[in-house]
Amino acid sequence: MSGALGPFLLKRLALSLLTLWLLSVVVFFGCQVLPGDPARAILGPLADPRAVAALNEKLGSDRPPVEIYLSWMGGLITGDMGQSYAYRSPVAPFIGSALVNSLKLAATVFAIVVPLGIGAGVLAALRAGRPIDRLISVAGLSLTVIPEFVSSIALILVFAVLLRWLPLSASWPAGSGPLVQLQHLILPALPLVIVLFGYIARMTRAGMVEALSADYTRTAILKGLPWRTVLSRHVLRNALLPTITVIAAQMGYALGGLVVVESLFRYQGIGSLVLGAARAKDFAMLQAGILTVGAFFVVTTLLADIVTTLLDPRLRTGGRR
Amino acid sequence: MSEALPLTEPAPGLAREARTRGVVGRLLRTPSFLIGITILLFWAVCAVFAPSFVPYDPYADDLLNTLQPPSAEHWFGTDQIGRDVFSRVLVGARAILTIAPLATLVGTVAGTAIGLITGYFGGWVDAIIGRLLEVMLSLPLIIVALLVLVALGPSTPTVVVVVGLVFAPLVARTVRAAVLTERHLDYVAAAAVRGESAPYIMSVEILPNITPPIIVEGTVRLGYAIFTIASLSFLGFGVQPPTPDWGLAIAENYGVLIGGFWWTVVFDTAATASLIVGVNLAAESLQRALAE
Amino acid sequence: MTDPAVPPVLRLDDMSVSYRIRGRAVPVLSQVNLSIAKGEVYGLVGESGSGKSTVALAVQRVLPANGRMSGGRALINGRDVGALDRAALLQMRAREVAMVFQDPGRALNPSITIGRQVAEAFEILGASGHEARRRAEEMLTRVRISSPARVMERYPHQLSGGMQQRVVIAMALAKDPSLLILDEPTTGLDATIEAEILDLVDTLRREFGASILFISHNLGAIAGLCDRVGVLYAGRLVEEGPVRDLFADPRHPYTAGLLRCLPRPGLRKDLAPLDTIPGFPPAPGSIPVGCVFAPRCALADETCRTIDPPLVTTGAGRVSRCHHHDRVGDLPHAVPRAAAGTLAPAGASTGTPVLELTALSKTYGSAPYAVQALRDVSLRLMPGQTLGLVGESGSGKSTLAHALLGLIAPDAGGGMALDGAALAPEVRRRTAEQIKTLQIVFQNPDSALNRSHSVRRLIGRAITRLGGLKGAQREAQVTRLLESVRLTARQLSARPRQLSGGMKQRVAVARAFAGNPRLVVCDEPTSALDVSVQAAILNLLAELQAERQVAYLLISHDLGVVRYLSDWIAVLYLGRLLEVGPAARVLDGPHHPYTEALLSAAPSVSGERTGRIRLTGAIPSGVSPPAGCLFHTRCPRRIGPICDTEEPPFTADAHGHAIRCHLPRAELGRSLAPATA
Ligand code: SF4
Ligand code: SF4
């Protein structure tokens, strides 16, 4: 029966590839077709038409879109992401270092928010309807909707300006050790933690409440198992599994905040790279940056799906009846 | 449990009107709803009337009085070019409270249509549209919006449409899930057996049954629309200067924050936070009231 | 009957339970008294809303968060459950009381293997890991699971419903409980599987000697299993006594009504209508004055309406909560039909059939995972007659209905004809006349009626579509239709949620009849309803048929329902017709071995099961159906290798009674008690 796993994973992989391909088309469309005339968009409405034509030729955007797309894809496969107009150098190295920086920030965020959010969600579900549940729910919900730039300002005021506990800039001096790096990362991480916390707590709570009221939980209680065993063996596993997938599926979306936070704290990550490219109308850079963000999301969801499949016997052994 | 369930249903004889009144009644007795709706109303009033009662012209600069701290004259101080922060904060509600509801409307209508169609037809229609929506959702909303706004150039109608369309997949996902539940109910089959057309079944049979989740989704989206548009303005792709706007004001002034000129951003920050929290409290109470 | 020194295993002393709903306490059980002696099997019967499941939850202190025992006590082995502290309560649950719920699929933890779940029950009792596993395996053997070691490696979703319920029972018996509570343990299982589980419970009660509280709406199941029975109505125990006596001679009008409204052998639509219980149970939370049953009782008088009757002793070990328990025998019966035989007698099959299916097949999915839901089904149905379609889950009966209605397209090659004209597979391509002619009544009116539309709109729209009427004419027709399903104009502006289950189903029937159909598919029309409501709907269907000469394709798993309404019966198994014939012949025999097992599985209220033919094993999956005779994996009469390799022929006798079996007719089983009078 476990033979069903192979085809399932293959299918899932194929779907991810399809999504990636569609993503490239969408991004390409947004960066090359939608602006109509990239050179005009870059140079502005008052530019000399000859300059526009020359730039278009230089950018290669005077060719038919399909051709541009194919050569872009060809480049991507060989690791060539094109030439940045603004920096006049290849895009790829920028993307690489920005991605590493963003991953550091994201890792800090998750290291703080996942245990916090899941813990709060579990607690709220166990005390469903009581004041602590209301507190977690309402606080979580209110925090989730505060834009990162708003909470950043508040945090900067308190921790960097008034208390001077944490450095304002996210960029650490070159050659700093991990601890110093971490110290610089905490302040930018907090706004994202605030946004994600309510979300994770809410998802966890929903999953827990469902598992707590499930018939199998009642069976376990009626077996006479102590409450701790009921929780650890029967409730948590069934509650958290789906929650993990849901959380992962929303991550990319929630990480849009990176753009804001990185630009606000002047941090050289993929978010500020994309924003900079957008401001400079550096379409090659923009295109590569956005595609990287999307690809990162697709890979995370794929991994989350695979993990849940491996852990969930219903999926692992095929055929949900 | 079979006995416990029917009891949560209203007893036979309870009229629908009574139920509707019940929802409103419950809402009016919910503190969080009252707080939320009061905040929202306050800003709505500002959006409509503030220009006629604020003490200063929000656009007028005064280069002799730049970066003045709060005083009796300028309650919230002045900004880098000497504009009155208090006036700009109150009038600032106007831009966001115009764009956000419109964008929400666009997103909800488009999303409902897409959700109905994909959920009802299923099969390859659902597979293709579903995949496209997933691609859109695989990018952070703000990045998609950024991409399109860079390409088309930021202007109020563009922001409305772009944010609306970025939200449409989310609304569509909720609506589709609701439609899928309904689709398997026999009243849909009964309509098909009567020879009803697909548009009839979708709009007359299914739609009324999925309005509560759509309303909830709409109010939740409104909160996120404010979130997204404020963020876009902050990044320079939303409301354009010199229009008074909170996100924009923060972007223009947070550079001087470290110099101690906190009043240039604090009030805009508080305004943004209060509006969003207000919308959210109202939305959450509404959701609870409808679910009961 | 018991030694007074030994406390009863379960005793309820004036137990009352209420739920808090929207800030109001709604009583669910009022002062219920009962006691179960050691080794006794006590049946608690009641319709939905009677509070019977709440009894089980309250006894174990697992009421939902809004539930509360508002009065009285529950004692288990003499100890007040409500007064136990945490540790004692855990001890009680771990050692004394076990419980089996409806829907075993949900009672098992989906992410833990069966072995671990069963072993866990022994670990609580102090067994070491290894020891627990060994005993788990032993226990699975005792609930007649044939390869326990293999089952223990599996996850719940890999087992069939019947197997899952065995596992749940094994877990329950692990602690060798003194009280075993079974709450609707077979509801949702197929009839042959249900019979197996009931037999198992019957055997185990002897082996384990546990007292059993058996909660069910199924009178037949209770009759076959229990020693004593209590009848619950609107949260009150209205009658109690030894099961045989009580069912043979009920002393409460409600019990009598319940027993009478079951369609039983000998009753047919053309002979007499079924008895019914008029009205509906009181709305939960309403406070009745006098007898709760008075609004529905034919014997009710002034006394009944003012004084709540006490429980009075009416015989040895029997009590009834009725002022007039001695007059229950006088309850009026439904009048036999005046014009018996107005319907064409079964078998008179000349003329154009209203429906003809030829070689209809349907395959879902493709290649390795293809499921053949229908295989070469050919059927015909004459105007004004009922064809009963019987089968268990996976038999393809719903697929057949959906194909007929144009909701799914059958495989190419088969044919459907309505009144002699070919019927297109898609509704779109059918003529308006065909759409009118063919309508449906679904199983569950909650699902079949759009909950945001009023009754007027529900029926009115159907009249516009199917009858082509508008405006005042339409309005008049709505009223007429409502009358013909015994509803009044008062219900016109009601929405489905404001109606009772029976009323909703009447609206659904009215809607199906909006265009004067000639063929109505009735897909399990009463299985979502309580028995007292079922009888009224069956009567209604029979009357409409007599009045309008409409033909029914009746899909049901309930042989009683099929027997009452059908002129012809067809038996489906894994999408294949195993037997077709005039109703009387199919019911009396000779039977196909599968039909025989189905008939034998249906428990009867008299407590004597008609036969002891039991099928073993699960219904095979449609993905890999057995070769040869589809039924050979479960057939108790299997002849030999020929059944495994060769598909039997479908041979018919002179009456059109066809059976698909290698056994010669003379050797096939017959009913001991003829099913028809
Ligand atoms: S007490 Fe009266 S109303 Fe109640 S069941 Fe007996 S006869 Fe009927
Ligand atoms: S053909 Fe054989 S296996 Fe099939 S029903 Fe007849 S006796 Fe049983």
Q: Is the pLDDT of residue A250 over 80?
A: no
- The half-sphere exposure of A177 on its side-chain side, counting CA atoms within 13 A, is 1
Residues of A with Cβ-Cβ distance to C92 under 8 angstroms:
224
* A113 CB-near residues (< 8 Å, 6+ apart): A192, A193, A196, A197, A200
Give A-chain residues touching C56 at CB under 8 angstroms.
none
Structural domain ending residue among the three candidates C499, C525, C545: C545
The reply to whether C144 and C239 lie within a common domain is: no
C33 and C92 fall within a common domain: yes
Encode pLDDT of C390-438 as tens digits: 988 888 888 999 999 999 899 988 889 999 899 999 888 999 999 999 9
Q: CA C525 to CA C536: how far, in whole Å?
A: 12
Contact state of A149 with B284 under an 8 Å Cβ cutoff: no
Whether the Cβ atoms of residue B46 and residue B88 lie closer than 8 Å to each other: no
Q: How far, in Å, CA of B97 to CA of C275, rounded?
A: 66
Give the residue with greater pLDDT, C317 vs B56: C317
Residues C601 and C541 in one domain: no
How many domains would you assign to chain B? 1
Distance CA C292, CA C31 (A): 14
Q: Using omega within 30 degrees of 0 as the cis cutoff, is the peptide bond preceding C288 cis?
A: no
Chain A residue with the nearest C-alpha to that of B236: A279
Is residue B64 in a domain?
yes
| Helix residue ranges, H only, C498-581 | 501-512, 531-548, 559-565
Lowest mean pLDDT among B6-20, B46-60, C86-100: B6-20
Residue percentage of chain A with pLDDT more than 90: 7
The answer to whether A245 and C137 have CB atoms below 8 angstroms apart is: no
Q: Which of B193, B201, B211 to mutate to test the interface with C (most CBs of C within 10 A)?
A: B193
B15 pLDDT higher than 50: no
Instruction: Indicate the pairing of strand C371-381 with strand C355-364.
Output: antiparallel
User: A92-126 and A283-311 are packed helices; what angle lies between their axes, rounded to 10 degrees?
Assistant: 40
Do C166 and C195 lie in one domain? The reply is no
Residue C331 CB–ligand 1 contact under 6 Å: no
- pLDDT tens for each residue of C646-661: 889 998 888 889 999 9
Same domain assignment for residues C84 and C33: yes
- Most B CBs within 10 A among C187, C452, C504, hence the mutation to make, goes to C452
CA of C292 to the centre of ligand 1 (A): 8
Is residue C662 within 6 Å of ligand 2 at its C-beta? yes
Q: Give the C window 474-533 contacts with B, CB below 8 Å.
A: 495, 497-500, 511
Q: Is C97 on the interface with A (CB under 8 A)?
A: yes
Alpha carbon C10 to its chain centroid, in Å, reads 28
Q: Is residue C141's pLDDT more than 50?
A: yes
Q: Under an 8 Å CB criterion, which residues of B touch C?
A: 1-4, 6-16, 185-187, 189-190, 192-196, 205, 208-209, 292
**Between A142 and A47, whose confidence is greater?**
A142
Please give the domain boundaries of chain A with CATH numbers for all domains. Answer: 97-316 (1.10.3720.10)
Residue C401 domain-assigned (yes or no) = no
* Residue C318 and residue C246 in contact, taking contact as beta carbons nearer than 8 Å: yes
Q: Tell me which residue has tokens 């030694």.
A: C3
pLDDT attached to residue A264: 85
**Which of the other chains make 3 or more beta carbon contacts under 8 angstroms with chain C?**
A, B
Taking the C-alpha atoms of residue A143 and residue B276, their distance in angstroms, rounded to an integer, is 10
Of B251, B254, B280, nearest to A145 by CB-CB distance is B280
Split at pLDDT 50, 70, 90, the class of B20 is low
Q: Is the CB–ligand 1 distance for residue C322 below 6 Å?
A: yes
Same domain membership, residue C468 and residue C337: no
Q: Do residues B145 and B237 touch, judged by C-beta distance below 8 A?
A: yes
pLDDT value at C3 more than 60: no
Q: Is the pLDDT of residue C341 over 70?
A: no
Mutate to test the pocket of ligand 2, among C576, C578, C629 (most ligand atoms within 8 A of CB): C629
Please give the structure tokens belonging to residue C265: 């052998």
Please say whether the beta carbons of C458 and C449 come within 8 A.
yes
Q: Answer yes or no: do C92 and C136 share one domain.
A: no
Q: Is the pLDDT of residue C345 over 60?
A: no
Whether C296 and C149 share a structural domain: no
Pairing of strands C211-216, C41-45: parallel
The answer to whether C508 and C469 have CB atoms below 8 angstroms apart is no
> What per-residue confidence (pLDDT) applies to C347?
42
Does the Cβ of C300 fall within 6 Å of ligand 1? Answer: yes
Bridge-based pairing of strands C519-523 and C312-315 is unpaired
Identity of the residue numbered C318: R
Structural domain harbouring B178 = 20-291
Q: Kindly list the residues from chain B whose CB atom is less than 8 angstroms away from the CB atom of residue A34.
A: 148, 151-152
Q: What percent of chain B has pLDDT over 70?
A: 92
| CB of C637 shorter than 6 A to ligand 2 | yes
How far B201 CA sits from the closest chain C CA (Å)?
11
> Is C305 buried (19+), middle (13-18) or exposed (0-12) by CB count in 10 A?
middle
Based on the fold, state whether residues C6 and C112 are members of the same structural domain: no
Give me the pLDDT at residue B3, please: 29
pLDDT value at position B189? 93
Mean pLDDT throughout C597-605?
A: 81
The CA–CA distances, whole Å, from C529 to A210, A284, C49, C170, C522 equal: 28, 66, 12, 31, 14
Q: Is residue B11 part of a domain?
A: no
CA angle at B2 for the pair A319 and B3, rounded to the nearest 5°: 165
- Quickly list DSSP for B228-259: HHHHHHHHTSSSPTTS--HHHHHHHHGGGGGG
Task: Give B88→chain A minimum CA distance, Å.
Answer: 17
Residue B59 lies in a domain: yes
Q: How far, in Å, CA of B273 to CA of B252, rounded?
A: 18
pLDDT bracket for residue C291 (50, 70, 90): very high
- Residue A219 CA: distances (Å) to CA of A136, B30, C127, C186, C245: 29, 36, 19, 17, 35
% residues pLDDT > 70 (chain A): 87
Confidence (pLDDT) at C602: 77
Residue A136 predicted with pLDDT over 80: yes
Among protein residues, the one whose CA lies closest to atom 1 of ligand 1? C322
Q: What is the CATH number of the domain that holds C338?
A: 3.40.50.300
Backbone angles phi, psi at C325, to 5 degrees: -60, -25
Domain containing residue C528: 355-384+412-545
C57 neighbourhood in chain B, CB within 8 Å = 1
Q: Is the pLDDT of residue B124 over 50?
A: yes
Confidence label for B100 from pLDDT (cuts 50, 70 and 90): very high
- Indicate if the pLDDT at residue B6 is higher than 70: no
In a domain, C565, yes or no: no
Confidence class for position B4, pLDDT limits 50, 70, 90: very low
CB contact under 8 A, A223 and C60: no
- Residue A70 three-state SS: helix
- Is residue B86 within a helix (H) or strand (E), and if so which, with residue range? helix B85-121
Query: Is B6 inside any structural domain?
Result: no
pLDDT of A255: 66
Q: If DSSP codes are grouped into helix, strand and coil, which group holds residue B21?
A: helix
Residue C593 above 50 pLDDT? Answer: yes
Do B192 and C28 make contact, defined as CB atoms within 8 angstroms? no
Contacts 24+ apart (CB under 8 A), C113-118: C113/A313, C113/C152, C113/C153, C113/C154, C113/C155, C114/C140, C114/C151, C114/C152, C114/C153, C114/C154, C114/C155, C114/C156, C114/C159, C114/C167, C115/C151, C115/C152, C115/C153, C117/C167, C117/C171, C118/C152, C118/C167, C118/C170, C118/C171, C118/C174
Measured between CB atoms, does C93 come within 8 Å of chain A? Answer: yes
User: Which of residues C603 and A209 earns the better pLDDT score?
Assistant: A209
Distance from CA of C376 to the nearest CA of A (A): 26
Taking one residue from A and the other from C, the number of pairs with CB-CB distance under 8 angstroms is 77
Band (pLDDT 50/70/90 cuts) for residue B17 is very low
Residue C482 and residue C417 share a domain: yes
One domain for residues C431 and C535: yes
Contacts with B, C 113-132, CB within 8 Å: none
How far apart (Å, rounded) are the C-alpha atoms in residues C357 and C414?
8
> Given a cut of 50, is residue B2 above it in pLDDT?
no
Tell me: pLDDT of C569 over 90. yes
pLDDT at A194 over 70: yes
Q: What share of chain A is helix, strand, coil (3-state, %, to 5)?
A: 80, 0, 20
For B169, the 3-state DSSP assignment is helix
Q: Nearest residue CA, atom 7 of ligand 2?
A: C638
Chain segment B258-289, per-residue pLDDT in tens: 777 888 888 888 899 899 889 988 888 888 88
Which of C54, C86, C109, C154 is the best substitution to test chain A (most A C-beta atoms within 10 A)? C109
A265-303 pLDDT, tens digit per residue, is: 888 888 888 888 888 888 888 888 888 888 888 888 888
Residue C675, in any domain of the structure: no
C-chain CB neighbours of A320 within 8 Å are 157
For residue range A15-24, what is the model confidence (pLDDT) as tens digits? 888 888 888 8
Tell me phi and psi for residue B214, to 5 degrees: -70, -40
From residue C69, alpha-carbon distances to B257, C4, C181 in Å are 62, 27, 19
Using an 8 Å Cβ cutoff, are C184 and C46 in contact? no
Pairing, β C438-441 against β C318-320:
unpaired
Q: What is the mean pLDDT of residues A229-234?
A: 90
DSSP C175-188: T--SEEEEESTTTT
The reported pLDDT for the residue numbered C368 is 72
Kindly report the nearest CA distance between residue C104 and chain B, in angstroms.
Answer: 14
Q: Using a 6 Å cutoff on CB, does residue C660 contact ligand 2?
A: no
Contact B139 A34 (CB under 8 A): no
Minimum CA distance residue for ligand 2 atom 5: C661
Whether C632 is in the pocket of ligand 2, judged by its Cβ within 6 Å, is yes
Tell me the mean pLDDT in the region C179-206. 88
Count of CB atoms within 10 A of residue C416's CB?
18
Shared domain check, C606 and C506 = no
Confidence tier at C1 by pLDDT (50, 70, 90): very low
Distance to chain C for B46, nearest Cα, Å: 38
What is the pLDDT at residue C349?
Answer: 52
C362 lines ligand 1 (CB under 6 A): no
* The two structure tokens encoding residue C214: 């058996």
CA distances from B86 to B70, B98, B273 (A): 9, 20, 16
The position carrying tokens 């029914």 is C552
Which residues in chain C touch residue A129, judged by CB atoms under 8 angstroms apart? 65
Asked if residue B260 is part of any domain, the answer here is yes
| Residue with the two structure tokens 């509360």 | C68
Give the closest of A222, A234, A319 to C60, CB-based. A222
| Whether residue B18 has pLDDT greater than 60 | no
Residue to test with chain B: of A32, A153, A250, most B Cβ within 10 A: A153
pLDDT at C22 over 80: no
Highest mean pLDDT among A159-163, A239-243, B161-165: B161-165
pLDDT digits (tens, 9 = 90+) for C506-565: 999 999 999 889 999 999 998 888 888 889 899 999 999 998 899 999 999 888 899 999
Mean pLDDT value across residues C61-80: 89
The answer to whether residue C92 neighbours chain A at the CB level (below 8 Å) is yes
Residue numbers in B near C50 (CB within 8 A): 3
Using the predicted structure, report yes or no on whether residue B186 has a pLDDT greater than 90: yes
Percent of chain C's residues with pLDDT above 90 = 42
Report the gap between the CA of B78 and the closest CA in chain A (Å).
18
Check if C65 contacts A (Cβ < 8 Å). yes
Give the pLDDT band of residue B1 (cuts 50, 70, 90). very low
Whole-number CA gyration radius for chain C: 26
Kindly state whether residue C201 falls inside one of the protein's structural domains: yes
Mean pLDDT of chain C: 87
Integer Cα distance of B283 and C572 in angstroms: 52
Percent of chain B whose pLDDT exceeds 90: 30
Domain count, chain C: 4
Q: CA nearest B212 in C: which residue? A: C452
> Confidence class of residue B9 from pLDDT cuts 50, 70 and 90?
very low
Q: Is residue C562 part of a domain?
A: no
Average pLDDT for A20-33: 83
Q: Do B269 and A153 make contact, defined as CB atoms within 8 angstroms?
A: yes
Question: Tokens for C390?
Answer: 């019987």
pLDDT at A155: 86
pLDDT band at A254 (very low <50, low <70, confident <90, very high): low
Look at residue A139 and tell me whether its pLDDT is greater than 90.
no
Amino acid letter, B209: N
* A254: enclosing H helix or E strand: helix A236-254
What is the average per-residue pLDDT within A295-318?
78
CATH code for the domain in which residue B163 is found: 1.10.3720.10
| Residue B9 is assigned to a structural domain of this protein | no
* Chains sharing 3 or more CB pairs under 8 A with chain A: B, C
Q: What is the pLDDT of residues C80-101, one digit of tens each?
A: 998 999 889 988 888 899 999 8
C475 Cβ neighbours under 8 A, 6+ residues apart: C460
Nearest to C117 by CA among C159, C87, C153: C153
Please work out, in degrees rounded to the nearest 5, the angle formed at the alpha carbon of residue C107 by the alpha carbons of B288 and C176: 135
